[in-house]
């Protein structure tokens, strides 16, 4: 996924300047990550053989529906998965020259909130109701930097300005419940960015927000990313959000990455039947064009998960081979991968059977 030099938006090009980006290794490179829950049947990993990478200043969107493993993946990277029941059974995650998955708990804690930070979906449950937002932002700064409390508060105030909170001096002493949902999410972002992280993981950061507030937060995130060059993994189920912010996209289904590639390729030339079905399921904003395409049924429970392609029972194109043999993530075009025996569909499934 380092082949997208031609697709950068003007703003990104300006930001990155003349640095030889193409030769630079990705900031985070995940290879073959597999996570299993102790209670799951043998051989069914909740996240299975997941690979992706993110470069400096870029945004990777992981898209998928409930239970596809997108949040488990992000928690595994942050070292926040509770073991047991969750266990990382395979894979590596190279970040800044070290494998995150082999670090000690102490080393992980030093990274968290410093070089790597995370934003969650529901800001109210992630903020401590008993402390002012200033205290909570400063706490993370004091933990990772050799600064006094007063200096940390000064930095916290800076951060509130950065995330465009009106009357920041006053807000520094406010409690989370005194703020609206959009303001709280801004506080979460301020907290996450307080130590200038190299990687930001945002798990459904705008899902709980109204559409006008969502637009404000997405614009803010994008602007901050341009200013700081932070790499971002954004986890969402909303294809509209993906189209607005992603450089690269990984589509997940039931623990597998089923398709990945540059955002234009995913939207203009989707290959996996799940990606296509998902796009057909979203009502268009233009004039109505007949019924929605649907994906049959629901995600099967772990004990009924096929050992081949996990989309088999719902896929209109599937046959017995699909259920028995897992297709590889095949390259459609450089950088655009799809895990389907029959991609491209019009060639292999174009004629009526």
Partner 1 sequence: MSVMANTSDIILEGVGLKKHFSSGGLLSSPTVVRAVDGVSLDIRRGETFAVVGESGCGKSTLGRLLLRLIEPTGGDVRYEGRSILELNKSELRRLRRDLQIIFQDPFASLNPRMNVGDIIAEPIWLHNLAAGREKRERVADLMRTVGLLPTHSDRYPHEFSGGQRQRIGIARALAGDPKLIVGDEPVSALDVSIQAQIINLLEDLKDRFGLTLVIVAHDLAVIRHMSDRVAVMYLGEIVELSDTDALFDNPLHPYTQALLAAIPIPSPSSRQPKVLLQGDVPSPAAPPSGCRFHTRCPHARAVCKEQHPALETTPDGRQVACHFWREIQGAGAGSISAPPPSAALTKRLALYRTWRERQDKPVATSP
- List residues near partner 1 by CB under 8 A: 9, 65-66, 166, 180-183, 210-216, 218-219, 237-244, 246, 263-264, 267-270, 273, 276-288, 291-296, 298, 316-317, 345-346, 349-350, 352
What is the rounded distance in angstroms from the CA atom of residue 52 to the CA atom of residue 28? 8
* Smallest distance, partner 1 to C-beta of residue 57, A: 16
In the complex, minimum distance from the CB of residue 292 to partner 1, in angstroms, rounded to a whole number? 4
Minimum Å gap between C-beta 245 and partner 1 is: 8
- CB 44 to partner 1: min, Å: 18
Sign for the pseudo-dihedral over CA of 7, 78, 218, 190: negative
85-110 burial, b at 16+ Cβ within 10 Å, e below that, comes to ebebebbbbbbeeeebbebeeeeeee
Question: Of 1, 7, 17, which is closest to residue 61 (Cα–Cα)?
Answer: 1
Residue 265 CB, shortest distance to partner 1, in Å, is 10
Return d(Cα 49, Cα 31) in angstroms, integer.
7
Structure-block tokens of residue 185: 């999410």
Residue 257 CA to residue 339 CA, distance in Å, equals 8
CA–CA gap between residue 44 and residue 30 (Å, rounded): 20
3-class secondary structure, 192: helix
Let me know: does 235 contact 202? Beta carbons within 8 Å.
Answer: yes
Taking the complex as a whole, the smallest distance from the CB of residue 271 to partner 1 amounts, in Å, to 8
């Amino acid at each position: 996924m380092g082949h997208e030099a031609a697709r950068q938006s003007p703003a990104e090009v300006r930001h990155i300047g003349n640095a030889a980006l193409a030769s630079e290794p990705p900031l985070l490179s995940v290879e073959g990550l597999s996570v299993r829950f102790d209670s799951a049947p043998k051989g069914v990993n909740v996240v299975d053989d997941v690979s992706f990478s993110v470069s400096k200043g870029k945004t990777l969107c992981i898209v998928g529906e409930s239970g596809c493993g997108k949040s488990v993946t992000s928690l595994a990277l942050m070292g926040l998965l509770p073991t047991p029941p969750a266990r990382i059974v395979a894979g590596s995650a190279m970040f800044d020259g070290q494998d995150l998955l082999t670090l000690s708990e102490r080393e992980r804690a030093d990274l968290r909130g410093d070089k790597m930070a995370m934003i969650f979906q529901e800001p109210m449950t992630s903020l401590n109701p008993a402390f002012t937002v200033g205290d909570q932002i400063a706490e993370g700064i004091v933990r990772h930097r050799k600064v006094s409390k007063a200096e940390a508060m000064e930095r916290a105030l800076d951060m509130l300005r950065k995330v465009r909170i009106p009357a920041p001096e006053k807000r520094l002493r406010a409690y989370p419940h005194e703020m609206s949902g959009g303001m709280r999410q801004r506080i979460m972002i301020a907290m996450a960015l307080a130590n200038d992280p190299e990687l930001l993981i945002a798990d459904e950061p705008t899902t709980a927000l109204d559409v006008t507030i969502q637009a404000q937060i997405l614009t803010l995130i994008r602007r901050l990313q341009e200013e700081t060059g932070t790499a971002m993994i954004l986890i969402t189920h909303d294809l509209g959000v993906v189209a607005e912010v992603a450089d690269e996209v990984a589509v997940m289904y039931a623990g597998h990455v089923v398709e990945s590639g540059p955002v234009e390729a995913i939207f203009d030339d989707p290959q996996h039947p799940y990606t296509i079905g998902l796009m057909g399921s979203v009502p268009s904003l233009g004039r109505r064009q007949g019924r929605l395409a649907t994906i049959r049924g629901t995600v099967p429970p772990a004990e009924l998960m096929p050992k081949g392609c996990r989309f088999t029972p719902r896929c209109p194109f599937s046959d017995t081979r699909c259920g028995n043999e897992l297709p590889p993530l095949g390259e459609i075009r450089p950088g655009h991968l799809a895990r389907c025996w029959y991609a491209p569909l019009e060639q292999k499934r174009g004629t009526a059977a």
